[in-house]
Structure 1
Amino acid sequence: MRYAQVTDQLAGLGSEKWILNAAAKRRQAEGHRVINLTIGEPDVPTPDSLIETACTAMRAGRTGYSNGRGEPVLLDALSRRYTTRLNRPFGHDRFLCLPGTQTSLYLVFRTICEPGCEVILGDPMYATYEGIIRASGAVPVPVRLKPEQNFRLQAADVAAAITPATRAVFLNTPHNPTGAILQPGELRALGELARAHDLWIVSDEVYGDLTHDGRPFTSALADPEFEERTIITASISKSHAAPGFRSGWAVGPADFTHRALPLSETMLFGSQPFIADMTAEAIASAPVLAQGMAARMARRAQILFDRLDGVAGLRVHRPEAGMFALIDIRALSDNSLAFALELLEATDVAMMPGASFGLALEGWLRVALNASDADTEEACARIAAYAMQKAA
């Protein structure tokens, strides 16, 4: 039988990236005491108040079809949120509501790219980004993010990668897996570069409310000078501990949302009204839940640093935001997948191999910070013992 070429383009870019999570779950099912630090799940359940809002909406009949752009109650809430945060008006025509950031990004790249286009993005990158870009027919062009620059994408490096085929620069700030936050000057330099070459700026900002130690976050949409070429995506999955509800959005120029709407309606004709009601309530309030989560995750990153940095040559990179820290294992191994699998087998601690996030992170591990402080301490003890044994 014949298949579409996209199935070949995406081969190996799906669940294969998450082999450590699958292996950890198998060991748990066998009765092992596994500390699973692979997935960026929030460390608290979805708030009861949000679940009750969704249930009340369902009981009230908010279970019918929606429209393609989004429910008015959610569009109102998004308009208030971005108007307040960015200090200029954002009307309903600037938004599209979709089931999560992943779907939003798929829509964005299907709308702005075509076969043969190039999209520049940082390496390391979130594990699904390459697939999202390739699904549009475009080609990802990785630009190395350097530890000595705190893994922040630099305009000079982007400029060196631009070709006549370049269509967009894809940002992720705060960044997964490194936790880096792009600074206003860096965003401006990237915006000027995009304007000079008539490029789109696409920014995944799902971790925007999860900055550590009070660090400020600047959206790629903050500077109105570049808003006609800037599209951002976000969701309530991380900030409001609601990943399973799949509720996100895209914000961009009105012409972009107008052109993307028919494609969105082809994918799915509107999200669930009861989830829209829940999302509207979530984003209307101060990000107290996210701030508490960020404080706990910053504390766990510090535990990792205090317990592991320098042990048997390990180095720990502390994030500025988000749900992950990094461990540089190059003193012990240059094969992150093999090391992670061996570590799981020997210690029942599961972490993601850096190779799942690009060539630049080979020789590193990504550590989720959502385990309890006690489990984080226990994981560090197991890792330290294993590292010292391996180095001996």
Structure 2
Amino acid sequence: MQFAHRMNIPPSATVAVNNLALKKKAAGERVFNLSAGEPFVPTHSAVLDAARCALDEDKTNYTPVAGIPELRQAAVQFMNRTYGTAYTFDQTVITCGGKFGLFALFQVLLNPGDEVLIPAPYWVSYPSMVQLAGGCSVIIDTEESIGWKITPEYISSHCTEQTKLLVLNNAANPTGVLYTKEELQALLAAAKSRGLFVVSDEVYSGLVYDGKEYMSCGAFAEFHDMVIVVQSVSKHFAMTGWRAGIVFGPEEIMKKIITLQGQSTTGTSSITQWASVAAFDHAEEICSFIRDTMQHRRDVFFDALFDVFGVRFEKPVSALYGFFPMSHFGVHNMDSVTFCTDVLDTVNVAMVPGSAFGKEGYVRCSFGLVESELHDAVAALHTYFA
């Protein structure tokens, strides 16, 4: 069968590895799934109660395509209160997860041949999403030695007349990079000088550690007309399977996303939306618990790695992952896919190869699992090298 040329894209590497891990688990094997990009924390009881209430009250019909008003308003209030933005009701749309929010943005903003600047390491789905929208990804390679960050000079040197978008992932998957206010301001100014829109993926903004301050790209009034922020309930509230994302940005762009949703998903589940309202109602309590829990698990994981391997990896200040050079484990003559496949086959530890993030020679490991699983995963890794 001949498929559309746009489908010449790879499967999501993170989904693929997770599926292999789940397949092994279903076969009765014990698997240490360090590939899963989620905080393994039970969804808050108030969220579950709200979902049950929505079912009991038969709130199971179609919702407005842009999302129920209660959720849009709750999301705007949370964003403005927490991150110092100034969004209005008409500047937000509820989507089927943050992932579809990003997909929708590329669909409504890109024409064939438009270029999108993507710093690497990047979240695995950015290039494929751009390709599906007819755009071209221009990868800006960064290095661990400079903190995995881009500067305004990187933007200038990679721009052409076809460049339309810059994607910023702050806080970043897979590196845990966190940009400062001054760094973001300089990047946004550089993007504005080249007439670019900036898509700011901020779904990990609730997972910032060690007392670090988070700055949203949406908080700069002078760049409000060129910045679109993507958020999600998944990481903030441990609701990964509920699938609710939020997009904030200029009203004319939100209208186009609503049109796209009206011809595709029609919006996300009504039950999910009512549950998400409850999550925002209890946001401070839920977010602080998840953040503190993940910071503790990060410390447990990195301390265990030091105890077993004698290597003091730098702890990320945000997100859910360690992005480790394979050389620090003594692996030099093997690509990351082969290494991760062999580790999964041999000791049942699932990791994601760095090549999926545009950076060969690295692996991504999540510290979202409970502490005992993290300890046992490190012990299993040790047996691989024994």
Q: TM-score range by the shorter chain?
A: over 0.9
Give the residue type in structure 2 aligned to 1:380.
Answer: V
SS at match of 1:119: strand
Residue correspondence of structure 1 range 86-105 to structure 2 within 5 A? 86-87=83-84, 89-105=86-102
Which residue of the partner structure matches residue 356 of structure 2? 356
- Aligned pair in 2 of structure 1 residues 315, 366: CA closer, same or farther (>3 Å)? farther
Residue correspondence of structure 1 range 122-137 to structure 2 within 5 A? 122-137=119-134
Residue correspondence of structure 1 range 103-142 to structure 2 within 5 A? 103-142=100-139
- From 29, 34, 44, the equivalent of 2:31 is 34
Task: Judge conservation of contact 2:209–2:291 (CA < 8 Å) in 1.
Answer: yes
TM-superposed deviation, 1:259: 3.1
Alpha-carbon distance between aligned partners in 2 of 1:202 and 1:282, rounded to the nearest angstrom: 25
Alpha-carbon distance between aligned partners in 2 of 1:18 and 1:286, rounded to the nearest angstrom: 28
Task: Judge conservation of contact 1:75–1:95 (CA < 8 Å) in 2.
Answer: yes
- From 125, 148, 153, the equivalent of 1:151 is 148
Q: Does 1:191 align with 2:188?
A: yes
Q: Give unmatched runs, 5+ long, in structure 1.
A: none
SS at match of 2:218: coil
% identical aligned pairs: 27
Residue correspondence of structure 1 range 331-370 to structure 2 within 5 A? 331-333=330-332, 334-358=334-358, 360=359, 362-370=360-368
Give the residue type in structure 1 aligned to 2:367.
Answer: L
The alignment of Structure 1 onto Structure 2 pairs a total of residues equal to 383
Task: Judge conservation of contact 1:79–1:92 (CA < 8 Å) in 2.
Answer: yes
TM-superposed deviation, 1:310: 9.5
TM-superposed deviation, 1:83: 3.0
Give the residue type in structure 2 aligned to 1:332.
Answer: V
Task: Judge conservation of contact 2:34–2:366 (CA < 8 Å) in 1.
Answer: yes
- From 261, 265, 275, the equivalent of 2:262 is 265
Tell which deviates more after alignment, 373-382 or 131-140: 373-382
Q: Give unmatched runs, 5+ long, in structure 2.
A: none
TM-superposed deviation, 1:101: 0.4
Which residue of the partner structure matches residue 377 of structure 2? 379
Task: Judge conservation of contact 2:355–2:361 (CA < 8 Å) in 1.
Answer: yes
- Aligned pair in 2 of structure 1 residues 308, 273: CA closer, same or farther (>3 Å)? closer
- Aligned pair in 2 of structure 1 residues 335, 64: CA closer, same or farther (>3 Å)? same
Q: Does 1:281 align with 2:273?
A: no
Which residue of the partner structure matches residue 299 of structure 2? 302
TM-superposed deviation, 1:187: 0.8
TM-score (norm 1): 0.91
Give the residue type in structure 1 aligned to 2:366.
Answer: A
Deviations 1:181-208 (A, max 9, x none): 1111111111111111110000111111
TM-score (norm 2): 0.92
Which residue of the partner structure matches residue 4 of structure 2? 4
Give the residue type in structure 2 aligned to 1:239.
Answer: H
SS at match of 2:37: coil
Task: Judge conservation of contact 2:170–2:177 (CA < 8 Å) in 1.
Answer: yes
Which residue of the partner structure matches residue 247 of structure 2? 250
TM-superposed deviation, 1:17: 5.1
Give the 4+ runs in structure 1 shifted more than 6 A. Answer: 310-313
